[in-house]
Amino acid sequence: MDPLDGKVAIVTGGGSGIGEAVSRELARRGARVIIADIDDDAAKRVAAAIADGGGQATASHVDVSQEQDITRLVQDTAAAYGRLDFQFNNAGIAIRGGPPSETDLDAMREVYETNVFGVVLVTNAMLPLLRRAPAARIVNVSSEVGSITSMTDPASPLAQMPAGLAYPSSKSALNMITAMYAKELRDTPIKVNAANPGYTATDLNRHSGFRSVAEGAEASVHLATLPEDGPSGILWGHLWTEGGYGPLPW
């Protein structure tokens, strides 16, 4: 039996991009997927497509920065399933900007509301349901641009790429959030890890990435299916310079 069969999963930002690809793969493998997205039409479209293919999915309007949306999502999930096996914190935004010295603080706050504070809000609200599952998994969709090592290593392609301050720093913060939740939950069956999809073609980068969304989803799905002796508190995913997959430096 597939380890995902019959499990319950929530994917924030599941209506497009990597989140959609994760949702489709989870459903294909037998999971019951709740597609939580700020875009109602996108969430409903993906849920309908999954249902048409024989999978199980529902759509839920969720803005991860809004506590009332998260409260309703918890209540609906508890009523329908009584537990949560997988929490994919995938929702994220990117706002293009100039060099750090030209950072727009309002734009930076907007990025952090979704990419950082939204993850904490959703995770804290969902933890009671995650604790009811036999061995829950929390996957935070991060990025190699959040790796301070990769961004400052002269041999890394990322060190040569111009970048604004808001998005990379939000992913660095998300990496620490991952490590701290893993530390708190290390004596439980719950594992918390950050996924690096690689440079994936999505709306966030105007589809300039060289990886498909299906490839970008692979790291998240892998971390959701870790065995009991698998790691917790790591950044894992696509390795740009070496190819393949593995742990990345913080």
Active site amino acids: 167
Find all residues with CB under 8 Å of 22, minimum gap 6, and list them.
11, 14, 88, 90, 217, 220, 221
CA distance 89 to 215: 18
Say if residues 195 and 142 touch (Cβ distance below 8 Å).
yes
Give Cα separations from 57 to 14, 54, 64, 225 (angstroms). 11, 10, 19, 19
Cβ-based neighbour number of residue 110 at 10 Å: 15
Closest CA to 119 of 59, 69, 174, 46: 174
